[in-house]
Structure 1
Amino acid sequence: MTSRNYLPTSRLRRCTGSAGLLLWQNTPPVLAESPLLWYGLLASVPIVVASFFIVFLLYRQKREAHFRQVQLQTELERADLEMQALRAQVNPHFIFNCLASIQHYIHRHESDLAEGYLVKFSRLIRLVLENSTQAMVPMEDDLEALDLYIQMEQLRLNNSFTYTIDTDGLDTELLYIPPLLIQPFVENAIWHGLAHTEAGHIRISFRLDGPTLSCFIADDGKPGEGPAPEHAAKNKSMGTALITRRLELYKKLHDRAYHFTMSDLEGQGKQIELTIPHEKDE
């Protein structure tokens, strides 16, 4: 019996030899004989390129978003540090005015009034020191400090003016606002609007309209009846500059615009409208 060697059919090619004999020749497969395969490969090239391009765009967008987030976080941290420094400037400015009022009573030898003033002052200092370490405090605490300050100014001016604080039914325990943001405007109204009146009045009111908390400080004073003390004028400019800078920083921190405007009331007096940064404790 003779043995035969079999080759794979895909690699065998039929041909005729010189003697007319039928021969089988072993040849490798040729891709050119499969045009559909080439068409498929050529068609896939744009898809692969587009896929790499899309992946590159997504990566670059993600990297740029990360860099923007890091930059924004750095700016917010810088703004928060500057805000802390500004609060540190506001507190000595506020305390200085209180000490000036105490000195006023001591010079007049009115010990009983000085003692009562010192009691209120100690409570006020406690609140100021507690609140000064916080970026936002309960509105109730800030209004308590404001109320004590106005009472002290009433004593200093021999109760020559009255005041009201209207919260319009707001839940002042759950609403948080920056400390000592309202007080400088009330101080200006007293020193520059009511210092020369005998029966003045200050009305402080609030209105919450959606995300906007507004504070209105209105007085019926008669400015211009006498020169304000020199230190009061300096304190006014300093206090206004600090408030302006604080509102600019709150704009960066909260991504919202905060401002204050001053307008003349009919008859006499002025009104300050202040938009206040706020948060609600749920």
Structure 2
Amino acid sequence: MKNGLFCLLLFCCPTHLLAQPDVKVIRHDSLKRELGRTKSDTLRVLIYEQLMGVSPQRKAVIDYGQQGFNLAKQIHFDRGAIQCGNKLGFMLVELDYYKAIPILMETKQLAEKLEDPQALLTTILYLGYAYNKFDFQKAQYYYTMARQLVEKDHIPESVTPISRILGQFYYNWNVLDSALFYSKKAYQQGQQANISPNVLNKLYDVQFGKIYYKMKQPDLAMRYFRRAIASATGNPNGQVYEGLAMIFRDRQQLDSARYYAKKSLAIQQERNETIYIIQTATLLFELYQASNPAEALKYHLLATATKDSLKTQEKVRQAEKAAYEDREREAATQRRFKAAELDYQNRLKLYALVGLLGIAILVAYFLYRANRQNRKLEAQRLRQLETEFEQKLADTEMMTLRAQMNPHFIFNCLNSIKLYTLQNKADKASEYLTKFARLIRLVLENSRSERVPLQNELEALQLYIELEAMRFKQKVQFMIQVASEIDQQYVQIPPLLLQPYVENAIWHGLMHKAEGGFVQINVCQSTDHLLHVEITDDGVGRERARALKSKSAGMHKSFGMQVTADRIRMINQLHNVQTQAQVVDLVATDGEPLGTKVVLDIPI
């Protein structure tokens, strides 16, 4: 069963096993001398890889591969590690497949890192071959992965005969429909590649004959077996004669069956094909059992002796498998421990974040409480001032109103951060906290000035909308457009003047729609001394918002919009200007509300 796959996979392996013996010895000695002279670790890896191809002994091949693989990993020479790892893994499959699998897994990771499809395909095929020894499901997984990689990267069958490999694999596991499908596919691909019919027959006739025989189609099987004999140069595959012998046995043509079985056995003994020797010797025992007991006994003893040898090998295999499985369980336990440790560290980070959030909330609360007390004291002091201090009174009221905006932002943002934290979304909480910190910084900086650059105001506004969009799971879409002729650093406006209108559009207009909505802010300069701002939303409109009368909306209206109206009044009084705000209901031709537009004309 293994010989077919071994030969096919050898086709995928570089021709390091195919050199003539004398040439290999000469080349081996030359490379050993070069290895002793070179000082470069990279060159040493490449020499180890070449030595694997010319070494006369398998043990030496494995030693060279292990040294090259370890050195390449040590110096981070990924390409060399892949070359040595693939060859080493392939050689180990036949000896210690439980050692081959970890090496091939590591090589696979390196090939994926380098995005080398041919190296990755070779590694995946060797992994399939290794698991084919004991685990059909995992072998099928890797062979299927190899087929998908061939199709994705358009690797030709002449480079990697994946269909032929799959056909042999499924035949070995007695999945005959799949074996026939992939064998036919490989044959057709050979025809499309203009391979001569005689070559294709040599490659596929034996396989087709074996599949059709197992599928209970002896006539088709015999046709392929006879064509395989006719197209063979020298002795054909012993399985051809064994197949013919089984067909004649089924037809009770015993003389022909014995004839072909003996020819098959002779070829298999010459090639030391252990499994096939057992099968053919057992077949000859059955064929002679009735007519010639002495001859039957001879073949029975041959089959028994070969089986004993095979059982010894199988015991060794089972011990290797058990050792490999023990190591796999230990590795899985280590992975679980590491996962538990990582989970513990993540919980610690989350607890730290929650603690910081609690401290931030407490600080915000005391700031708000102190701010409110300060406003009360300031109002009492202002009421005691005389009429001649009206200008100073106006200045103080403006500072109070600006300070009033800070806790408004803080409570909105901290509630969102708290929600993310309670939902264990640490990454979202961290992102939200970063934007929140930048926004608070801008608000605090802008609050110190009566006017701020338009660019600063729009940056704070964008941060606010992004925070609301994250809070409401991207239900809020927005766009800010500024006319190209406006110098945003030069033009200055009162701070935090636009944000309450955008907030009102989101809370009153968009949040009453299940799918959310869109807010657009357009800024242009209608005259040299007048900035024209339009804030448009596609929400439910003011009438619908008033009908809903949500507690949240009412709170936002009283705290945000009223403060903004007071600020505009005080700005106009203090600076003797006419800042105007107008709210327009957008209505469709059929009377359905389309949203709301706020138009602001701000002197500059």
Q: Confirm or deny that 1:176 pairs with 2:486.
A: no
What is aligned with 2:558? 237
The structural deviation recorded for 1:109 is 2.7
Structure 1's 109 and 196: CA in aligned 2 closer, same or farther, altered over 3 A?
Answer: farther
Counterpart of 1:245 in structure 2: which amino acid?
D
Task: Give the partner amino acid of 1:273.
Answer: V
Distance in 2 (CA, whole Å) between partners of 1:85 and 1:230 is: 26
Are positions 1:255 and 2:576 aligned together? yes
Change (3 A) 1:185 1:258: same
* CA distance in 2: counterparts of 1:233 and 1:107, whole angstroms: 26
What amino acid is the match of 1:201?
A: F
Q: Does 1:200 align with 2:517?
A: yes
Tell me, in whole angstroms, the C-alpha distance in 1 between the residues paired with 2:556 and 2:509. 15
Confirm whether residue 99 of structure 1 aligns to residue 405 of structure 2.
no
Equivalent residue for 2:446, pick from 117, 131, 144: 131
Q: AA paired with 1:183?
A: Q
CA distance in 2, matches of 1:237, 1:174: 33
Using the alignment, how far apart are the partners of 2:400 and 2:431 within structure 1? 32
Say which of 528, 537, 542 aligns to 1:219: 537
User: TM-score with structure 1 length normalisation?
Assistant: 0.68
Q: Look up the match of 1:19.
A: none
Q: Matched residues in 2 for 1:84 and 1:266: separation?
A: 38
Larger deviation: 219-228 or 152-161?
219-228
- Residue 218 of structure 1 contacts residue 272 of structure 1 at CA under 8 Å; is this kept in 2? yes
The superposition leaves residues 207-244 of structure 1 with CA deviations (integer Å, 9 ceiling, x where unpaired) of 22222212111000125489465233212122111111
Between the aligned partners of 1:164 and 1:84, the Cα distance in structure 2 is 31
Equivalent position of 2:391 in the other structure:
76
CA displacement 1:173-212 (0-9 Å, x = unmatched): 0011111110011011111111133151100011222222
Among residues 191, 202, 214, which one is paired with 2:507 in the alignment? 191
Counterpart in the other structure of 1:119: 434
Aligned length: 208
Deviation, structure 1 residue 254: 2.1
Q: 2:466 aligns with which of 140, 145, 151?
A: 151
Aligned-partner Cα distance in 2 for 1:218–1:188: 11
Q: Do 1:93 and 1:235's aligned partners in 2 also have CA atoms closer than 8 Å?
A: no
Aligned to 2:598: 272
Q: Is the 8 A contact 2:504 2:561 kept in 1?
A: no
CA distance in 2, matches of 1:208, 1:245: 24
Change beyond 3 A, Cα 1:228–1:164 = farther
Unpaired stretches in structure 2, ≥5 consecutive residues: 1-385, 589-593
Q: Which residue of 2 aligns with 1:62?
A: none
Structure 1 contact 192–228 (Cα < 8 Å) conserved:
no
Deviation readout 1:120-159 (Å, 9 max, x if unpaired): 1111111111111111111111111111111111111111
Residue type matched to 2:425 in 1?
E
Q: 1:106 to 1:228 in 2, by over 3 A?
A: farther
Matches for 1:20-59 after TM superposition, within 5 Å: none
Judged with a 3 Å threshold, the aligned counterparts in structure 2 of structure 1 residues 133 and 72 are, in CA distance, closer, same or farther, namely same
Letter in 2 for 1:200: G
| Letter of the structure 2 residue corresponding to residue 272 of structure 1 | V
Secondary structure of 1:204's counterpart equals strand
Q: CA RMSD in A?
A: 2.2
Cα 1:111–1:214 change in 2 (3 A) is same
SS of structure 2 residue aligned to 1:179: coil
| Deviation larger for 198-207 or 115-124 | 198-207
Residue pair 2:517, 2:538 contacting (<8 A) in 1 also: yes
Kept in 1, the 8 Å contact 2:540–2:595? The answer is yes
Counterpart-to-counterpart distance in 2, 1:229 and 1:199: 16
Q: CA deviation at 1:92?
A: 1.3
**1:121/1:136 Cα in 2 relative to 1: closer, same or farther (>3 Å)?**
same
Q: Distance in 2 between matches of 1:213 and 1:73?
A: 33
Long gaps (5+) in structure 1: 1-70
Partner of 1:5: none
What is the letter of the counterpart of residue 270 of structure 1?
T
Amino acid at match of 1:122: A
Return the offset for 1:97: 1.2
**Greater share of helix:** 2
Question: More strand by proportion, 1 or 2?
Answer: 1
Q: Which stretch shifts more, 250-259 or 122-131?
A: 250-259
- The equivalent residue for 2:163 is none
Distance 1:130 1:154 in 2: 24
Q: Which one scores higher on RCO, CA 8 angstroms, separation ≥ 6?
A: 1
**3-state SS of the aligned residue for 2:583?**
strand
Say which SS state the counterpart of residue 406 (structure 2) adopts. helix
For residues 525 and 599 of structure 2, the distance between their equivalents in structure 1, rounded to whole angstroms, comes to 13
Q: Which one of 394, 400, 403 corresponds to residue 85 of structure 1?
A: 400
Q: Give 1:262's aligned amino acid.
A: V
AA paired with 2:408?
Answer: H
Q: Distance in 2 between matches of 1:218 and 1:173?
A: 24
Instruction: State the Cα distance separating 1:74 from its structure 2 match.
Output: 4.2
In the superposition, the TM-score normalised over structure 2's length comes to: 0.33
Secondary structure of the residue aligned to 2:587 is: coil
For 1:175 and 1:125, locate their aligned partners in 2 and report how far apart those are by CA, in whole Å: 22
Once residues 548 and 474 of structure 2 are traced to their aligned partners in structure 1, the CA distance between those partners, rounded to angstroms, is 20
